[in-house]
Structure 1
Amino acid sequence: MTLTLYAHPFSSYSQKVLIALYENGTPFTYRVLGPDDPEAGAEWVGLWPLKRFPVLLDGGETVVESSVIIEHLGLHHPGPVRLLPDDARAALAARMMDRFFDNYVMTPMQAIVFDHLRPADDRDPYSVARAREALDTAYRWLDGAMAGREWAAGDAFGLADCAAAPSLFYADWVHEIDTAFPHARAYRARLLARPSFARAVEEARPYRPLFPPGAPDRD
């Protein structure tokens, strides 16, 4: 069946799913959401009125939420790269790391980004400071977890790394990973070198001027 992905190249959660698709060379139709294709936007809202993306259309089935989409791909469109282990205990560990990146890296990163979208008089320095503290705590924990480990859940690239790549990519832009956390920094560098994520980064490069806090001149 034909797969159609409604997403945006600069979106962190869209990149998470794109990495999974690129890892396995899975064929799909890419409907980029934006002003250049209002028809895609109308289709997307019709499929998911909550207006969150990415959304995957698999035949007549609508699949939402990035982690669920990746697991759906593994079940219904498997490729050579197994993004979730068959072993239940190993899969549970991978899901835990996936939730860590979404909840404890992506969420505070987005809090900082969204604050920049507010009018200057309506900024929330207290919440931004708390988000930065949360990121430092997450970086510290991750640094310990990645000591002696190549990928987030062990030796194989998988679901958790799909989550880690965009979350650490953007989080480091808004609150740089301190040099005191060399394992976390090295892990981010490995993710950037992974061909699937490198492709997603390049596809998003034209949109960097839109990054609310201002994109750094690196990566």
Structure 2
Amino acid sequence: MTLTLYYHPFSSYCQKAVTALYEKGLAFEGKLIDGSEPVMSEFKALWPVGKMPLLVDDGRTVFEATAIVEYLDARFPETARMIPADPLVAVDVRMWERFFDNYIAYPQFRLLAPRIGQEVDDGGEKWRAKADTALAVLDAHMDGREWAAGDAFSLADCAAAPHLLYIDWTYGIPDHFRNVWAYRDRLLARPSYARALDEARPYRAGVPMNIPENRD
């Protein structure tokens, strides 16, 4: 049995799936989606929509990072769970995973838009305000907490790690959000995410983000 992941190491959503794979200790064959052949043809044949990541397991394809992590929990129940068995804690994990995708990542993407030649409404003021609101909510939530939901590292944290990294590079997390900064530091130190982040480093050249020194 070989798991195959079509992905790019710099993609935040791919990092979500890769971090879960490393948390679970699951080996996989990575196929880099960088526009080169024959991988692109394989990928498009399997998933014409063309969005990363895509997991293939014994002929079964699973698309979307969140679904991939859910699939891994179901497929390999003996490994560390990314979604807890307790259904109420599982709701919290899924809720906060959505928080990071919708309220941290989306403003970050909109603020990045002008740097890749796209227009952004109001000069980005609306998205800066939304980012500030989301970071304030997260800062309050993380007071006294180690991880985003429940007592263990979960799917929510797999989502948080790259999104908090990239919003700091794109916008800058204000210093007064001390709980967010402490949480971000824990995420960067987590071996599974640290490994995913190291694998993304060679692809930083030319990215339209301001990568601060000593902030990764």
Answer yes or no: same fold by TM over 0.5.
Answer: yes
What is the CA distance between 1:127 and its match in structure 2?
Answer: 5.5
SS of the residue 1:78 aligns to: coil
2:199 is equivalent to residue 200 of structure 1: no
Asked whether the 8 Å contact 1:44–1:51 carries over to 2, the reply is yes
- CA offsets per residue over residues 140-193 of structure 1, 9 Å max, x none? 000010011100003200010000001101011112111221101100010000
Q: CA deviation at 1:106?
A: 0.9
Q: Distance in 2 between matches of 1:209 and 1:130?
A: 29
Contact kept in structure 2, 1:116 and 1:123, CA below 8 Å: no
1:107 paired to 2:106 = yes
CA distance in 2, matches of 1:167, 1:153: 16
Matched AA of 1:13 = Y
The answer on 1:170 being equivalent to 2:166 is yes
Q: Which residue of 2 aligns with 1:25?
A: 25
Structure 2 unaligned runs (5+)?
none
Contact 2:89–2:150 (CA under 8 A) maintained in structure 1: no
Moved more, 142-151 or 108-117: 108-117
Matched, 1:60 2:59: yes
Partner of 2:77: 78
| Distance in 1, Cα, partners of 2:163 & 2:77 | 24
Residue in structure 2 matched with residue 42 of structure 1 by the alignment: 41
CA distance in 1, matches of 2:209, 2:167: 11
| 8 Å contact kept, 2:97–2:157 | yes
Q: Secondary structure at the match of 1:52?
A: coil
Q: Confirm or deny that 1:4 pairs with 2:4.
A: yes
Task: In structure 1, give the amino acid aligned to 2:58.
Answer: G
What corresponds to 1:156 in structure 2?
152
- Which contiguous aligned blocks of 4+ residues in structure 1 show a shift greater than 6 angstroms? none
TM, length-normalised to structure 2: 0.95
Residues matched between the structures, number = 215
Structure 1 residue 143 corresponds to structure 2 residue 139: yes
Question: Pairwise CA RMSD of aligned residues?
Answer: 1.4
Alignment-mate amino acid for residue 90 of structure 2 = A
Query: What percentage of residue pairs aligned between the two structures are identical?
Result: 47
What CA distance in whole angstroms lies between the structure 2 residues aligned with 1:183 and 1:154?
17
2:23 alignment partner AA:
E
Q: Distance in 1 between matches of 2:195 and 2:161?
A: 12
Deviation of 1:203 after TM superposition, in Å, equals: 0.6
Classify the secondary structure of the residue corresponding to 1:178. coil
Would you say the 8 A contact 1:209–1:215 is kept in 2?
no
TM, length-normalised to structure 1: 0.93
1:121-132 aligned at under 5 Å gives the runs 123-124=119-120, 126=122, 128-132=124-128
